[in-house]
Amino acid sequence: MKLLLTGAGGYTGRGLSEVLAAHHSVRGVDIVEKKTACQEFKVADISNYETCQKIIEGLDALVMCHMAPNPHGYKTPPMSFDINAKGTANLYHAAQEAGIKKVVLISSCGVLVEGKSNRDAQIGVGPYNYGKGLYTLTKIIQECIALDYFKAAQIATAVLRPGWIVYDGELVTKYGEKMERYYSSLLDPRDIGTAALAALALPDLGLESFNIGQHDYSEVNSTTTQARLKWTPTYRFESLPRVDDK
């Protein structure tokens, strides 16, 4: 399969590129030049529609892992909306025009309302965690866009909702903080990569959300995800002290 990976040079994108490029031909895209494992790399701004039309040419599926920089991209609306919302809509619309029918969207379990009753927040419907600021709002909008293009153009999307993304082994967050303890929400980007591979391989993928973590915890029902994708995380953060965070 020929894939697009947006945000390929980012913290998560770099791990995703390793896994995806080992199984598929991957065109990585980022607004800054970065070293990735993608077979092809383009510097491009996804907030420009014509650019999106060009970067998806000849591809079979899209993996969306772009995001506006945190924290400064979320202080006022323009950057977060241009990248997270407009960029995502641009890519879906260009996919519709090009006849591409499969997307993996990296969302966040931050869109979920905390608590057991909200484990199955429906894509584009919720219940959603409104009132938490521009990051969460634009992540919710991304899921709404996925719903819209599923209805309008039958584009199947696997919405992957990770919690806290950290490389096992490095144990340093994207903000440079050292991890001191284990959390159930921890996930290595390479495990998000294998979840994306599993979703892309589903012959009957529809519009589906996958809350992903080490195991079930609070709002994240990892068990149903693991059963549907036949996927389990490989990176278990075993060197970190365990805490009771079920």
Contacts with ligand NAD, residue ranges (CB under 6 A): 6-7, 9-13, 29-32, 45-47, 65-67, 69, 83, 87, 106, 108, 139, 162, 164-165, 174
The CB-nearest residue to ligand NAD is: 10
Residue 89 Cβ vs ligand NAD, minimum distance, rounded to whole Å = 13
Residue 179 Cβ vs ligand NAD, minimum distance, rounded to whole Å = 12
Residue 108 Cβ vs ligand NAD, minimum distance, rounded to whole Å = 4
Assigned token pair, 9:
């040079």
Closer by beta carbon to ligand NAD, 203 or else 245: 245
Closer by beta carbon to ligand NAD, 80 or else 203: 80
Residue 206 Cβ vs ligand NAD, minimum distance, rounded to whole Å = 21
Closer by beta carbon to ligand NAD, 35 or else 154: 35
CB 87 within 8 A of CB 98: no
**Which residue reads 């997307």 in tokens?**
103
Q: Which H helix or E strand runs over 136?
A: helix 134-153
CB 104 within 8 A of CB 200: yes
Closer by beta carbon to ligand NAD, 37 or else 154: 37
Residue 97 Cβ vs ligand NAD, minimum distance, rounded to whole Å = 19
**Which residue reads 């980012």 in tokens?**
10
Q: What's the rounded Cα separation, in Å, for the pair 142 and 123? A: 9
Measured CA angle at 48 (ends 42, 51), to 5 deg: 40
Among the listed residues 71, 3, 65, 61, the one whose alpha carbon sits nearest the alpha carbon of residue 34: 65
